[in-house]
Amino acid sequence: MIMHIIDRRLNPGSKSLENRQRFLRRAKALVRGAVKKSSQDRDIKDVLEGGEVSIPLDGMNEPRFRREGGTRDMVLPGNKKFVEGDILPRSGEKSGGKPRDPGEGDSEDAFRFVLSRDEFVDLFLDDLELPDLAKRKLAEAESEGVQRAGYATSGSPANISISRTASRALARRVALRRPRLAAIEKLESELAECNEARRAELIAELEALKAKARRIPYIDPIDIRYRRFETVPKPVAQAVMFCLMDVSGSMSEHMKDLAKRFYMLLYVFLKRRYRHVEIVFIRHTDRAEEVDEETFFHGPASGGTLVSSALQAMHDIVRSRFRPADWNIYAAQASDGDNSISDGEVAGRLLTDMILPVSQFFAYLEVGEAGGYTFDMPDSALWTLYERLRAGGAPLSMRKVSERSEIFPVFHDLFHRRGKQEKTAP
C-alpha cells in the first residue's frame, strides 16, 4: 500500500496565533489587570521581557453540565490490606478518593499562561497616551515625503502606468471594434488558396479591415496614464528624551533608584511610539555635564545645587544637536527639590523662555526618602518655583514620589488617556 510522508515542520508556525489573539482580546480587561499587578513586583528592566501572568478564570470559563456529590462507586487498583466490608474513615487523607482531574471545573481558580514581550508591553501601556504626539509646529517641519495619489493624464515618461494604459487601450479597441490581428491573418491565409471569383471580394474585405486597423491605433495618446504622486509633510518620527537629575550630596541611592525607574518607564513608552528615540543624560550639581548612563546613575559627584546649570546644558544640547523641527523633545527632571534661592529666577526664565516652547513634555519628579509620606513632604524650593510657573500657565507636569510602588501609578497618572484637558492636575 502506498504510504505518504509529509514534512510539516517547515509549515508556517503559530497556527493558533489567531485563536490566541481572540483569547487575549476576550480576556483583555483581566489580562491588563494582571499585567499591571505583575509589573509592580518586577524590576523595571524586566518589564519588557513578557512572561507569565495569571488571571482569574471567571468569565473565561467554558461551562458544561457537571454532576457532583451523591453516592459514588469506584474501582481502584493496588489493594494491599482491605477486605470486603471494611469501612475506611473519610476524614483527612482521602485514602480512596480519586484525585480530581487537573483543569476540571472550578478547582482551578486562576489560569496561568505566558505572554510574549510584545503582548506584555502592549497591554502594559495600553491606556496611556503621549501628550502632543504630533509636533506642535508641524508646518515648520521641512521633511516631506511622497505618496501615491491615483493617476494623471500628464507626467514624466518614467511614471507611465503600463497596466492602466494597456487596460484603457484594450477597452477602447474593444469599444471601437478594431479588427484583430488573427482575423486579418485568417483572411490572408484564405486569400492564398482561393479561386478567382472569391479573391477580389476577399481583397476588398482585407483592405477595409487593414484601413480600419490603421485608423484605430493599438495605443492612442489618450490612453496613456501616469502614476501621480503627492508630497505630504512627514510627521517627525524621532524623539529625544532628556534625563535631568540632581546628583548633589542630598540625593540618596533610594532617590536615584526612583528616578531611574521613572526614566526607564518613559523610555519604554517613547520607544513604543517613535521609531527612533535618543536619550541624553544630564546630571548636575552646581554645574551640569552630559554623561553616559553608567555615570549618570552610579558616578560619584558632590557639590551644591544649581538647577539652572542643567537647564542651560539642555538648552545648549538642543540647539546644537536636536533641531526642534526634527525632533520631539521630552524631558524629565528628577530632584529632591533643593535649589539655591538665588538660582530660582534664572531657572524659571530658562524654562519658560527657552525649554518649554520647544518641548513636547516636561515632567518634574520630586523624589523623597523611603518611608516618607508623599503628602506631607514639605514643598521644596524647586517645587514652589515650578508651582508658580505652572500657575502662570507654563505646561509643566509635576509629581512627588517616595516609594518604589508609586512610580508606576504616577507614571500612569501623567500619561493617562484623557480627553483634551491635560497637565491641569498637579
Partner 1 sequence: MTATAEPLFQGADWDFLTLQRIHDACEGIARSELGLDVYPNQIEVITAEQMLDAYSSVGMPLFYKHWSFGKHFAFHEASYRKGLMGLAYEIVINSSPCISYLMEENTATMQALVIAHAAFGHNHFFKNNYLFKQWTDANGILDYLEFAKTYVAQCEERQGRLAVEQTLDAAHALMSHGIDRYPGKKKLDLGAEEKRAGRRRLHEEAAFNDLWRTVPTGPAKSDAMLNVERRRKLLGLPQENLLYFLEKTAPRLQPWQRELLRIVRHIAQYFYPQSQTKVMNEGTATYVHYRIMKRLHEQGRISDGNFLEFLQSHTNVVFQPDFDDPRFSGFNPYALGFAMMQDIERIVSNPDDEDREWFPEIAGNGDVMGILRGIWANYRDESFIGQYLSPRLMRHFRMFHLHDDPEERAGVKVDAIHDERGYRRVRRELAKQYDVGFIDANIEVVDVDLAGDRRLMLRHAVVKGAQLNEADARRVLQHLADLWSYDVSLVEVDAADKVLKEYVANPRAIAAVA
Q: How far is the CB of 81 from partner 1 (least distance, A)?
A: 10
Q: Helix, strand or coil for residue 179? A: coil
Q: How far apart are CA 288 and CA 315, in angstroms?
A: 12
Q: How far is the CB of 40 from partner 1 (least distance, A)?
A: 21
Nearer Cβ to partner 1, position 10 or 192?
10
Q: How far is the CB of 9 from partner 1 (least distance, A)?
A: 5
The letter for the amino acid at 169 is: A
270 neighbors 330 (Cβ within 8 angstroms): yes
Nearer Cβ to partner 1, position 25 or 420?
25
295 neighbors 279 (Cβ within 8 angstroms): no
Interaction site with partner 1 (CB under 8 A): 1-9, 11, 13-16, 18-27, 52, 60-80, 82-90, 95-96, 98-99, 101, 103, 105-106, 111-114
Nearer Cβ to partner 1, position 124 or 296?
124
Nearer Cβ to partner 1, position 49 or 185?
49
Q: How far apart are CA 39 and CA 46, in angstroms?
A: 9
Torsions phi, psi of 362, nearest 5? -135, 120
Q: How far is the CB of 45 from partner 1 (least distance, A)?
A: 21
Q: How far apart are CA 406 and CA 425, in angstroms?
A: 17
Residues 405/408/413/415 CA torsion (nearest 10 deg): 170
343 neighbors 308 (Cβ within 8 angstroms): yes
Q: How far is the CB of 1 from partner 1 (least distance, A)?
A: 6
Q: How far is the CB of 100 from partner 1 (least distance, A)?
A: 9
Q: Helix, strand or coil for residue 181? A: helix
Nearer Cβ to partner 1, position 101 or 193?
101
Q: Is 358 exposed, middle or buried (0-12, 13-18, 19+ CB in 10 A)?
A: buried
Hey, CA dihedral for 79, 80, 83, 87, is it positive or negative?
Answer: negative
Nearer Cβ to partner 1, position 66 or 420?
66
Q: How far is the CB of 95 from partner 1 (least distance, A)?
A: 7
Q: How far is the CB of 109 from partner 1 (least distance, A)?
A: 12
User: DSSP per residue over 191-204, as a string?
Assistant: HHT--HHHHHHHHH
Grid cell 503559530 is found at 14
Residue 245 to residues 4, 200, 257, Cα–Cα distance (Å): 68, 101, 11
Which three cell numbers mark 400? 512627588
Nearer Cβ to partner 1, position 8 or 148?
8
Nearer Cβ to partner 1, position 75 or 139?
75
Q: How far is the CB of 42 from partner 1 (least distance, A)?
A: 18
Grid cell 482521602 is found at 94
Q: How far apart are CA 319 and CA 321, in angstroms?
A: 6
Nearer Cβ to partner 1, position 11 or 320?
11
